[in-house]
Amino acid sequence: MSNINPQNIDGTFPIAGQDNNSQGFRDNFTNTVNNFTFAAAELTDLQTYAVLKGPLGSVGQTGTPTNTMNYTYITQPQLLQAVETKYDFGTISTGASFQVDWTQGHFQTIAVSGTASMSFASTWPATNLYTRLRLQVTTANTTVLTLPSSITNVNSIQGYTSGTSVSLPTGTYVFEFATYNAGSTVTINDLLRNYNTEVSGNVGNFITANISGNLAVGGSIITYAGSGANLVIDPDGLADLVLTNNTSLFVLDATASTSTGTGAVQVLGGVGVVGQVNAGSFNTAGNILSAGAIHNALTVNGALSTGNISTNGTQVETGYQQVKPGANVAVTVNSNVNRVLLHPASTIISFGANVTLPNTQVNGTIISISSNVTIAQLAVVTSWPVTTVSPYGNVGPITPGTVSRFMYIAADFTWYKIA
C-alpha cells in the first residue's frame, strides 16, 4: 500500500482576504515534501522490481524490456501464447566445435556437415532448479556428432557409436537436454525417432514396436498368441527372418505347459535359415528360399505345407545312415534317419542284409534303402511288436542302384513298401 497521503495537504489554505497563520504554510510544505519522497521511493521500487510489458520513459518510447525475475516464485500462472527464445548457430564446417549456452535460448538450431563436437557452457541454473533445452541439428550428409561427457544416456540414442558419439544420416533431428544439478549430469531425449535401447530382464508388454533398423537381442523374443495375436515378420515380403550360427526359433502353443507345444510359424514371404527352426507346425503360403545350402538346419516337428521349397544352392542331406559291410549285415535304422546306404567296403559282388526299421510314431515318415552292389536277399523287419512291415520279411533280391522305400502310417502301426 502506498505511503503517499494526499489528505494531509490542506487545499483551502491560505484563506483569501485575511491574515493566515504561517504554521499552515509550513505544514503544507512539509507534507508535500514527504509525499514526494514516498512517491520517489515507490517509483524506484517499481522500476527496479516490477514486471513490465514495455520500456519505461516518455510516452511512445519503443523497445523490448528485460524482466529479470532472479528465480522468484510465480504461483498459479495461466499462460496463453507463451513462446521461447530461438538461437541459431548457422552452419559450421566439418570438424568444428560449438558450445551450447542455455542463456542464449531454450530452442537452438545448427546445420552441420561431417564431424562436429558439442560442449555446454557453464551457465545452467543452480542445483535443484530443473531446466530443459532443445537443439535442432540438420545434417547435409552422414555426420558423427560428439556430445558432452556430462550426458549420461547417450547410448540410448539411435546411431550411437562409442563414447559420447552418435552417427546422424542426412536429415533433421531434435534433441532435448535436461539437468537439475547445474549441468553436472545431463539427460538427452530424441524427440523425433525411436530409441536404440538394449534392455536386460523383463520389461513388460509393448503394444507396437516399429523398428526400421536391426533389433539385436542377446536372449529370447517370446510372443504369446493370446486371443489371436501374431508375430508378424516382414509383412511386405521384402526382408527376411535370419537365424545365424546355432540359434533357434521356437514357437510354442499359448496353452502348452512344456516346451513341446503345437504352435505354428506362418510365413507369407521368405525365410532364410542358417540356424535351426523348431516348431509344432511350419505353414507357408510363400516360399522357403535359400541362396546357399540348407544342411543340418531345419527341424520341422509338425507339417510343412501349402508353399514351395526353392533353393538356388545345394540341398545337403544329413539324415542318412551309411553302412560298409564286408559280408552279410544286420542294420538297425536310427530314429532320425530317412535314407540307409549300404556301400560294401570290399569288392564283393553281392551280400545279404537284414534291416530293422525304427519304432517311430511320426505319421508319413519315409525311409529308403539302397546299395551300390546287388543285395541278394533284403529282409526288412521291425523290433517293436505293435508295429509291422508290409510286406514283412524278405523283399529281395535288389539290383545295384535300386531304391526300396517304406512309409509309416501311424493309424495302422505299419511300414508300407511304396517303391
Inform me whether the pLDDT recorded for 270 exceeds 70: no
Taking only the tens place, the pLDDT of each residue in 161-220 is 999 999 999 999 999 999 999 999 999 999 998 765 444 444 444 445 555 556 666 666
DSSP 156: G
Do 59 and 96 belong together in one domain? Answer: no
Do 97 and 185 belong together in one domain? Answer: yes
- pTM (2 d.p.): 0.47
Count of the separate structural domains present in the chain: 4
Listed residues 150, 174, 190: the one ending a domain: 190
Residue 19 lies in a domain: yes
Do 274 and 348 belong together in one domain? Answer: no
Residue 283 lies in a domain: yes
Listed residues 175, 190, 205: the one ending a domain: 190
Q: How confident is the model at residue 228 (pLDDT cuts 50, 70, 90)?
A: very low
Do 338 and 358 belong together in one domain? Answer: yes
pLDDT of residue 398: 84
- Identify whether 125 is preceded by a cis peptide bond (ω within 30 of 0): no
Nearest CA among 132, 96, 126, 122 for reference residue 111: 96
pLDDT of residue 401: 87
Residue 231 lies in a domain: no
Distance CA 23, CA 17 (A): 18
Taking only the tens place, the pLDDT of each residue in 230-256 is 555 554 544 445 555 445 555 444 443
DSSP 54: S
Neighbours of 374 (CB within 10 A): 16
If DSSP states are collapsed to H, E and C, what string results for 374-410?
Answer: EEEEEEEEECCCCCEEECCEECCCECCCCEEEEEEEC
Inform me whether the pLDDT recorded for 290 exceeds 90: no
Taking only the tens place, the pLDDT of each residue in 314-360 is 777 878 999 999 899 999 999 888 999 999 977 888 999 999 998 87
Here the cell at position 361 is 510314431
Q: Position 295: which residue type?
A: H
Residue 325 lies in a domain: yes
* Average per-residue pLDDT for the chain: 79
Question: In this structure, what are the phi and psi dihedrals at residue 110, rounded to the nearest 5 degrees?
Answer: -155, 145
By residue range, what is the domain housing residue 30?
A: 1-72
Do 325 and 351 belong together in one domain? Answer: yes
Residue 125 lies in a domain: yes
Residue 165 lies in a domain: yes
Do 305 and 324 belong together in one domain? Answer: no
One DSSP character per residue, 152-192 reads S-GGGSTTB-STTEEEE-SEEEEEEEEESSTTSSBEEEESS
The residue written with cell numbers 544352392 in the block is 313
Do 8 and 51 belong together in one domain? Answer: yes
Residue 206 lies in a domain: no
The mean pLDDT of 379-386, rounded to a whole number, is 87
Residue 298 lies in a domain: yes
Taking only the tens place, the pLDDT of each residue in 115-155 is 999 999 999 999 999 999 999 999 999 999 999 999 999 99
Do 363 and 385 belong together in one domain? Answer: yes
Do 99 and 176 belong together in one domain? Answer: yes
Taking only the tens place, the pLDDT of each residue in 57-112 is 656 667 777 888 889 899 999 999 999 999 999 999 999 999 999 999 999 999 99
pLDDT of residue 209: 54
Do 394 and 299 belong together in one domain? Answer: no
DSSP 84: -
Do 116 and 65 belong together in one domain? Answer: no
Do 101 and 168 belong together in one domain? Answer: yes
